[in-house]
Amino acid sequence: MINLKNRAFNILTLTLVSTVIFVILLILQYFKVISEYTGLLLTLAGIYVIVSLSLNLITGFTGQLSLGHAGFMCVGAYTTAIAIIKYGMPIPIALILGGIMTALFGLAIGIPTLRLRGDYLAITTLGFGEIIRVIIVNLDSLTGGAAGLKGIPTFSNTGDFIIDAIIRFSWVYIIMILVIAVIHNLINSSQGRAIISIREDDIASTSMGVNVAYYKVYAFTLSAFIAGVGGGLYAIFFGYLNPAMFGWLNSVNFVVIVVLGGMGSITGTIIAAVVFTYLQEWLRVFADFRLVIFGLALIILMIFWPKGLMGNKELSITGFIRQLRSGEFSPRQIKTKWNEFRQKKGRKKDGRAD
């Protein structure tokens, strides 16, 4: 529940926490406690977090499966890259432009697919992602075709490796925090409740006066915008683009991240996206077997953890601090909690509970 008294507390704590994490990560990178490679991975993870969160907005919160997010990323990436290379636009403008262009695509797909749900929507969005790729291959004068676009200038070029790495990381991290704030604040508002009610039961939702079509398109468009910005960052991060970077398997990966993290959990998505980025790199030695390992891991996780890492709950720092203050974590409390937990587990085992 939201109330005025907690407002300052919440904003202060969250700003403080994200700044502290940010500064720590910067220091670690600056003094090479974490290698340049790890720094790169962290930055890439940030981009994955942004795109996964945007997907969570429609899949987790609105309850619609989209397999077109690599396509959205692709639109954003190319728009941003072209804006920078061909028109010399500054990075922030190019990123926003990428977002807007992708949002237009989102709107164009969102409206006609309104009536579709489940598998049908998934297949349509999958098709969209592939169409985007084909278009980009064939628009060679603008996009460089299958060969791709090269020479996208990076965030900074100071000549100092570490400074460049830190600036690159800062760009992604700050935008990621903004995206988290936007989605969190939207979801925890009347508009957000309307969006979630669609996932829960769309007939009940419309019967309670929620304009379901409007909110579906709204979520879709906003999601596309954010994915487009993520795509723009991706383009600048790698410095080159080609259509193969946005195959449908990437869309599937984002769905995997959202499902693993827990549909409708922001913190779950963040954790899953970071873990996923690392796994993807570590498993590179297995080459194509990587996919088999991923598939198996996914099946096993879904059997034992069907609601994903977090379900639809959130890890809450402010909530945690409040609990600390209220003595919730006194040794005695923890002991009773632990006992309750063990009892619950025990009951689950003999299959009589629930």
CB of 233 to another protein, least distance (A): 20
Inter-CA distances, 104 with 25, 76, 267, Å: 35, 11, 28
Nearer to another protein, 193 or 345 (CB): 193
Residues contacting another protein: total by CB under 8 A: 33
Cβ-based burial of 281 (10 A; exposed 0-12, middle 13-18, buried ≥19) = middle
Nearer to another protein, 28 or 182 (CB): 182
* Residue 72 CA neighbour count, 13 Å, CB half: 35
Inter-CA distances, 192 with 56, 60, 303, 319, Å: 13, 12, 30, 20
Does position 318 interact with another protein (CB under 8 A)? The reply is: no
- Buried b / exposed e along 331-341 (16+ C-beta atoms within 10 A): eeeeeeeeeee
Q: How far apart are the first and last CA of the chain?
A: 27
Contacts with another protein in 217-276 (CB under 8 A)? 218
Contact pattern for another protein over residues 178 through 197, marking x by CB under 8 A: ---xx--xx--xxxxxx-xx
Does position 80 interact with another protein (CB under 8 A)? The reply is: no
Euclidean distance between CA atoms 29 and 82, whole angstroms:
31
CB of 318 to another protein, least distance (A): 13
CB of 350 to another protein, least distance (A): 22
Residues in a beta bridge with 6: none
Nearer to another protein, 143 or 267 (CB): 267
Nearer to another protein, 112 or 209 (CB): 209
Contacting another protein (CB under 8 A), which of 36, 140, 160, 201? Answer: 201
Nearer to another protein, 61 or 276 (CB): 61
Does position 3 interact with another protein (CB under 8 A)? The reply is: yes
Euclidean distance between CA atoms 150 and 133, whole angstroms:
17
Nearer to another protein, 290 or 307 (CB): 307
Phi then psi dihedrals of residue 330, to 5 deg: -65, 155
CB of 235 to another protein, least distance (A): 26
Contacting another protein (CB under 8 A), which of 42, 94, 97, 210? Answer: 210
Euclidean distance between CA atoms 11 and 318, whole angstroms:
9
Nearer to another protein, 290 or 322 (CB): 322
Decide if 317 contacts 14 (C-beta within 8 A).
yes
Say what the alpha-carbon torsion angle 262, 25, 150, 232 is, to the nearest 10 degrees. 50
CB of 53 to another protein, least distance (A): 14
Does position 205 interact with another protein (CB under 8 A)? The reply is: yes
Structure token digits, residue 349: 């085992």
Does position 13 interact with another protein (CB under 8 A)? The reply is: no
Euclidean distance between CA atoms 241 and 224, whole angstroms:
19
Nearer to another protein, 7 or 32 (CB): 7
Residues of the shown chain interacting with another protein in the complex, contacts defined by CB under 8 A: 1-4, 7, 11, 181-182, 185-186, 189-194, 196-197, 200-201, 203-213, 218, 312
